[in-house]
């Protein structure tokens, strides 16, 4: 094998630049580990983009046509760090069909078209690696695929979106509002000007789809994930949860029950003593329950130029090792099982409900009746003094099914004048 393995980079933004830095800074160690140098020889940019300073610094050729990389027989691996679905999907397919191995950090693409790309890579006997697509700098996919391969995982809970974790940390610790913390996250560059994918839970859902494949071998589609974000979350409910012994976190979960799984993203009340409650600011963590190891948690930066690029370069090194041994073409994870989603009747949790109700005699009794008819008990109830006309009632239910919870919601809507201010799962007892 050549002593230098050449790489083509698609996109020279935050992560692309990080890849150049990590390769330059750690080249000696890389060479000693894999017995070859890894060099980015060409980078694809948009026509008119000025990246000449980077090209000079890292001694690479800038190109504006994908063909210039695909037709170069010296380039063995393509790294896609442009983001979004198109043209990334087409470019990756073309790269695989041209005989290149591919590394990508693109969670949007993997969550929606992962099977298609994984199958194509396999058909072409090429490797497709994407460690950086989940929790940036935390090596979680490789850990699940390799280190936990012999274990039986039952639960994967993740704080896998740094933007929302930063916002929630500020809401809890500094008693700030959703709007204030979003503005601050945008000013600091954690949140984009259109924060939809972060605050509505979509980004976290992409990552949970990928984690479900690794942990349970199941191919879950985005419409099978129950997704709720933190948009508009009331500061009062975050404070109340704190008083009741819980920290509100945006949790992505994929949980196995018998032979089915439930995949969700939503704001969750996490008990103060649970390890995930201590993950602050923009940091990420993935908490795993398995029958062999028990409980384990993997913590680190979920984004950022160098952490993400470190995962990408580790993927490049894995591919070079496989090229050396002539063992290319295996999937990142070979674990496959029939996909089965847990029905709502079997999906059991405690819930936190925050209600605004008319401050009138008999209102609370009505709530008790609704709960009793649905056969759901109260674990904690707090009534707060309101504005005179309304009272705020917060309750935590006993463990119940999603079906029974839906009955309660329906009855509140049809039989009362209550306003449901927020509804969150409760975990970590
Ligand atoms: N940033 C992180 O911390 C992080 C962490 C984990 C995963 N990721 C993933 O890594 C990928 C890259 O993220 P990033 O933060 O580096 O994004 P970024 O800073 O926006 O960089 C992407 C670069 O690719 C360019 N590009 C897009 N389409 C192109 C095309 N058709 N031809 C040539 N260049 C094109 C963009 O140019 P324009 O700006 O002109 O569009 C931009 O310069 C995404 O999939 C992201 O989800 C990022």
Three-state DSSP at 213 gives: helix
| Residue 256 CB burial class (10 angstroms; 0-12, 13-18, ≥19) | buried
What's the gap in Å between 12 CA and the centre of ligand 1?
7
Enter the tokens of residue 173. Answer: 């610790």
The distance between the two most distant Cα atoms of the chain, rounded to a whole number of Å, is 82
Mean pLDDT of the chain: 96
Ligand 1 pocket, residue 106 CB under 6 Å: yes
Sign of CA dihedral 156, 271, 269, 362: positive
Q: What is the mean pLDDT of residues 20-24?
A: 98
Report how far residue 260's alpha carbon sits from residue 423's, in angstroms, rounded to the nearest whole number. Answer: 25
Enter the tokens of residue 356. Answer: 């605004």
Enter the tokens of residue 8. Answer: 């083509």
pLDDT at 364: 87
Ligand 1 pocket, residue 230 CB under 6 Å: no
Ligand 1 pocket, residue 275 CB under 6 Å: no
Indicate which residue's Cα is closest to atom 6 of ligand 1.
136
**Strand 400-401, strand 348-358: pairing:** antiparallel
Atom of ligand 1 nearest to the CA of 18: 16
Beta bridge partners, 10, equal: 44, 80
Number of separate helices (H) and strands (E) present in the chain: 15, 17
What's the gap in Å between 82 CA and the centre of ligand 1?
4
CA dist 4 to 23, 32, 45, 72, Å?
13, 12, 23, 15
**pLDDT, tens digit, 9 for 90 and up, residues 348-363:** 999 999 999 998 888 8
What's the gap in Å between 10 CA and the centre of ligand 1?
9
155 contacts 144 by C-beta, under 8 angstroms: no
What's the gap in Å between 131 CA and the centre of ligand 1?
16
What's the gap in Å between 9 CA and the centre of ligand 1?
11
| Residue 375 CB burial class (10 angstroms; 0-12, 13-18, ≥19) | exposed
Q: What is the mean pLDDT of residues 374-392?
A: 90
**pLDDT, tens digit, 9 for 90 and up, residues 219-272:** 999 999 999 999 989 999 999 999 999 999 999 999 999 999 999 999 999 999
Calculate Rg over the CA atoms of the chain: 24
Bond preceding residue 87 cis, omega within 30 of 0: yes
CA dist 131 to 150, 171, 353, Å?
20, 31, 37
Ligand 1 pocket, residue 238 CB under 6 Å: no
Binding-site residue numbers are 10-17, 107, 192
**pLDDT, tens digit, 9 for 90 and up, residues 162-203:** 999 999 999 999 999 999 999 999 999 888 889 999 999 999
Ligand 1 pocket, residue 8 CB under 6 Å: no
Indicate which residue's Cα is closest to atom 41 of ligand 1.
82
Q: List domains and CATH numbers for the chain.
A: 4-137+305-325 (3.40.50.720), 142-301 (3.30.360.10), 344-427 (3.30.70.260)
pLDDT at 429: 63
Beta bridge partners, 247, equal: 270
Ligand 1 pocket, residue 13 CB under 6 Å: yes
| Torsion angle (degrees, nearest 10) of CA 274, 278, 283, 284 | 0
| Catalytic residue list contains 207 | yes
**Residue-wise burial string across 331-367, b where 16 or more C-beta atoms lie within 10 A, e elsewhere:** bbbeeeeebebbeeeebebbbbbbbbbeeeeebeebb
Ligand 1 pocket, residue 65 CB under 6 Å: no
Band the pLDDT of 2: cuts 50, 70, 90: low
pLDDT at 1: 64
Atom of ligand 1 nearest to the CA of 15: 16
Three-state DSSP at 245 gives: coil
Q: Which of 88, 34, 299, 332 minimizes the C-alpha distance to 23?
A: 34
Atom of ligand 1 nearest to the CA of 83: 45
Task: Choose, from 170, 207, 213, 256, the residue flagged as catalytic.
Answer: 207
Indicate which residue's Cα is closest to atom 31 of ligand 1.
87
Q: Which of 79, 101, 47 minimizes the C-alpha distance to 313?
A: 79
pLDDT at 16 over 70: yes
Band the pLDDT of 34: cuts 50, 70, 90: very high
Residue 278 makes CB contacts below 8 A (sequence gap 6+) with none
Enter the tokens of residue 404. Answer: 């029974």
**pLDDT, tens digit, 9 for 90 and up, residues 111-149:** 999 999 999 999 999 999 999 999 999 999 999 999 999
């Amino acid at each position: 094998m050549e002593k230098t393995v050449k790489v083509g980079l698609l996109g020279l933004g935050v992560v692309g630049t990080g890849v150049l830095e990590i390769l330059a800074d750690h080249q000696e160690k890389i060479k000693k580990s894999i017995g070859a140098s890894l060099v980015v020889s060409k980078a694809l940019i948009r026509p008119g983009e000025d990246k000449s300073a980077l090209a000079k610094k890292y001694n690479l050729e800038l190109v504006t046509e994908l063909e210039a990389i695909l037709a170069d027989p010296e380039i063995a691996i393509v790294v896609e760090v442009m983001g979004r679905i198109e043209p990334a999907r087409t470019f990756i397919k073309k790269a695989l069909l041209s005989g290149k191995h591919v590394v990508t950090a693109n969670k949007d693409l993997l969550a929606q078209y992962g099977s298609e790309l994984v199958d194509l890579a396999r058909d072409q006997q090429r490797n497709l690696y994407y460690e950086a697509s989940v929790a940036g700098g935390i090596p979680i996919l490789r850990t699940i695929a390799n280190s936990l391969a012999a274990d039986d995982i039952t639960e994967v809970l993740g704080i896998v979106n740094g933007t929302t974790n930063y916002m929630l940390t500020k809401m809890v610790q500094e008693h700030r509002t959703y709007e204030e913390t979003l503005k601050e996250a945008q000013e600091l560059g954690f949140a984009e000007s259109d924060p939809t994918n972060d605050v509505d839970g979509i980004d976290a859902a992409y990552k949970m789809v990928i984690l479900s494949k690794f942990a349970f071998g199941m191919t879950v589609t985005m419409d099978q994930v129950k997704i709720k974000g933190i948009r508009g979350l009331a500061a009062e409910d975050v404070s109340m949860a704190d008083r009741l012994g819980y920290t509100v976190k945006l949790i992505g979960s994929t949980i196995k029950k018998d032979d089915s799984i439930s995949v969700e993203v939503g704001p969750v009340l996490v008990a103060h003593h649970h390890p995930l409650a201590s993950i602050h600011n923009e940091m990420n963590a993935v908490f795993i329950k398995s029958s062999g190891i028990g409980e384990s948690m993997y913590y680190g930066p979920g984004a950022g130029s160098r952490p993400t690029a470190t995962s990408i370069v580790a993927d490049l090194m894995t591919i070079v090792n496989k090229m050396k041994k002539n063992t290319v073409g295996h999937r990142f994870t070979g674990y496959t099982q029939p996909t089965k989603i847990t029905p709502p009747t079997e999906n059991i949790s405690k819930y936190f409900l925050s209600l605004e109700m008319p401050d009138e005699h008999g209102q609370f009794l009505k709530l008790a009746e609704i709960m009793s008819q649905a056969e759901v008990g109260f674990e904690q109830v707090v009534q707060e003094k309101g504005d005179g006309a309304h009272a705020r009632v917060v309750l935590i239910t006993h463990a119940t099914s999603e079906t029974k919870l839906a009955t309660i919601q329906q009855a509140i809507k049809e039989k009362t004048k209550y306003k449901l201010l927020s509804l969150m799962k409760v975990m970590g007892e």
